[in-house]
Chains A and B, each alone.
Chain A
Amino acid sequence: MVRRPSPAAKVGQWVFLLVALVVGGLLINTLGANLARRSMTFGFGFLLHPANFDIPFHIIDWSLADTYAKVLLVGLLNTLLVSAMGIVSATLFGLLVGIMRLSVNWLVRNIALCFIEFVRNTPQLLQIVFWYFAVLQALPSPRQSLQIPGGFLLNVRGFFVPNLIMNAGGTLLPWLAFLALVATPFAWRLRLKRRRIGAFALALPVAALILLIASINHVEFPALKGFNILGGVPVPPELVALWAGLTIYATAFIAEIVRSSIEAVAKGQHEAARSLGLRRPHVLFLIVLPQALRIMVPQLTSQYLNLIKSSTLGAVVAYPDIFQIFAGTVMNHTGKEVETIIIVMAVFLTINLLFSAFMNWYNSRVALVRH
């Protein structure tokens, strides 16, 4: 691309900009006139007004007197929660199915292929709706809950997980345990550099586990009381359906990425490793996958972003994500169509940018390890 643009083109682009600005100005002008005609105003002051409605599912405290700004936060956290859950599970399953696609076993290979083809060629919305309306709503009522070994309950009201009740002073301990877990990979990396630390690196996670167990007072099992199951941590079916829908759809795409990336790793690598006497699983996990990861990261990034964006489909199964709650309920109660949609779009653009930046950083790190 050595050619310089012609003078006419250079002038043309400014004309284009001018036209774009004029059109934009006209649109905003029309908006102002339309709003004025309906005696409505444009502004974000409504964010500070109390919301006064209940949000069915929230992971931070929520009371009726909280503001619309808090609604935004609650919805955002719900979106991030289901996205994070989906990303973790889709990556694990995607890896599994991708490896299955390369199995020596004809049956395993083709089961994986059938799964991928079926999932990739049906709409994601349909899958989510199917999980919610056809599968989860066909589960028995709370009185006839399905008992799953380990104290889990499954019924039409959701999936109930036993809750760990911490000691009185125990709120601090889980945080310490969490910190220890976060620190573990760093300690492990340090071990690689300085051999002296050696097995001590493993002390951290063990300590974390001991801390956690020590801080548990008792386990609270879910049980039927009155209308609902009480006790335990309830995972509402809306979340389960959306999670399942997001996970399964992304799994199919990630599996194909895993397969193609593994195939892209030079065959010589594989053969060399085998000739050194490594067993096949070792070859896969120690030689091929780490190299395939480099190829995968950019493609995985776009799949993860798709998953986050698709979480808005939760609106059809009553999952209170940012889209349903903010661009729905709040928009309707306040009548701020333009403002709420602008906010939701801005939030998604920000998530997108931050996530891409993070993955680019990770990508550059993975690429560096090679040297």
Chain B
Amino acid sequence: MRAKEVPAEAAASPGGDLDGFVEGPRTGPARAIDWLRRNLFSSVTNTVLTLLVLALLWWVIPPFFNWMIGDATIAGSSRADCTGDGACWVFIKQRLHTFFWGHYPDDQLWRLAVVAGLMIAFIAPVMRERTRHRGLFVFLLLTLFPLLAGVLLAGGVAGLPFVDSDDWGGLMLCVIIAFVTVAGAIPLGILLALGRRSQLPVIRIFSIGFIELWRGVPLLTVLFMSAVMVPLFLPYGVSVDRLIRAIVAFTLFNAAYMAETVRGGLQGVSEEQEEAAYSLGLKWWQVQVFVTLPQALRIVVPGIVNNIVDLFKDTSLVTIIGLVDLLGAVNLALKDPNWLGLAKEGYVFTAVIFFICCFGMSSYSRRLERRVNRHRTGGR
């Protein structure tokens, strides 16, 4: 892992700074030795600790490395090919398509590729450091893109064959759930956050009740509610696809968390700003939209990205209500009689995929955080 990524790293050791090495510019091995002395062997306790950790690493890493790569089997196509003591990656290789896109028809996979391409195209301007009209791009990402992607994935129009949502699965399902949820939860969360600060008692109490209700119960009960309880509240004959119900549950749940994040940002905007705006004769909504929210949202973007990371991890819960996401697909594959006993391979693979996605997002969030802090403290 790249230690540089972490902002606190520089000031991570208050004790270390106090040991007070005053160093001149040195080069080559001398510098390396210096670094080692300072960071690993600065005292007796430290030396002991270093040796202990090294012993631990020596005990853990080589066997793990051997299992992962050294003794692992990659070539082949059946269980019989896995003869070594290491991991049996053949299993993952054989099932890769269900892990990534469930039972999406093979001849329609180009649609997935197009959606993935579109996603990159829509996200890129949002993430770029210097983008004008970033708000516009975010808006497009959260409205136009889901619409396009939905039409492309489901089909049924313009000659595209219809693909039932039951055939969607694996990582693709996680991404879809996460994306639609974010698109719904951010606006709803902003409304709730404003509602919670409102002067109108009814609106305020309603917002507080809504937020605290969802934050007080486990996501699993909310999902379960969407699976078994919600249909009882719908008129007879009306039925909603359970993927959509799950997404609605996710949206309501995460809107409550988004609302709290956004509220943190709203509190960070000084009151003078609002008062100044009001004194110019602006109406409440004008003040919120043009003055308060732009500042508040800029502060809370890292927080929102962290929420998205949590939400993305939570998508693995849909396996409990019978949707086959990445973890669900792995679990199903594990009970295949031809591939029994490969739980470690399946879960390690899932962990790596989730880690790549989530670590990417959290690193981005940290970078943003630093940028925001720089703007706020350094000013321009």
B13 interface residue, CB < 8 Å from A? Answer: yes
B232 interface residue, CB < 8 Å from A? Answer: yes
A182 interface residue, CB < 8 Å from B? Answer: no
- Which parts of B215-240 form the interface with A (CB within 8 Å)? 215-221, 224-225, 228-229, 232-236
Establish whether residues B284 and A129, one from each chain, have CB atoms under 8 Å apart when the complex forms. no
A234-270 vs B, Cβ < 8 Å mask (1 yes, 0 no):
0000000000000000000000000110010001001
B238-281 vs A, Cβ < 8 Å mask (1 yes, 0 no):
00000000000000000000000000000000010011001000
Establish whether residues B343 and A134, one from each chain, have CB atoms under 8 Å apart when the complex forms. yes
Question: Known contacts A121-B359, A123-B314, A271-B18: does B350 contact A260 (CB below 8 Å)?
Answer: no
Establish whether residues B199 and A1, one from each chain, have CB atoms under 8 Å apart when the complex forms. yes
B124 interface residue, CB < 8 Å from A? Answer: no
A311-328 vs B, Cβ < 8 Å mask (1 yes, 0 no):
011011000000100010
Report Cα–Cα, A138/B342, bound state, in Å. 11
The listed residue with most A CB atoms (<10 A of its CB), out of B199, B234, B344, B354, is B199
A102-116 vs B, Cβ < 8 Å mask (1 yes, 0 no):
111111111101100
Residue in chain A with minimal CB distance to B358: A121
Shortest Cβ distance from A201 into chain B, in angstroms? 32
B76 interface residue, CB < 8 Å from A? Answer: no
The residue from B46, B275, B314 contacting A104, defined by CB atoms under 8 A apart = B46
A167 interface residue, CB < 8 Å from B? Answer: no
Establish whether residues A133 and B1, one from each chain, have CB atoms under 8 Å apart when the complex forms. no
A30 interface residue, CB < 8 Å from B? Answer: yes
The residue from B11, B215, B217 contacting A263, defined by CB atoms under 8 A apart = B11
Report Cα–Cα, A102/B203, bound state, in Å. 45
B162 interface residue, CB < 8 Å from A? Answer: no
**Residues of A contacting B362 in the complex (Cβ-Cβ under 8 angstroms):** 117, 120-121
Report Cα–Cα, A184/B335, bound state, in Å. 53
Question: B residues engaging A (CB < 8 A)?
Answer: 1, 3, 6, 8, 11-16, 18-19, 39-40, 42, 46, 49-50, 53-54, 57, 197-203, 206, 213, 215-221, 224-225, 228-229, 232-236, 271, 274-275, 278, 284, 309, 313-314, 316-317, 319-320, 327, 331, 334, 343-344, 347, 350-351, 354-355, 358-359, 362
Chain A to chain B contacts (Cβ below 8 Å), 14 pairs = A3-B278, A13-B201, A16-B202, A37-B236, A102-B15, A104-B42, A110-B3, A123-B316, A130-B351, A312-B218, A323-B221, A327-B224, A338-B229, A345-B217
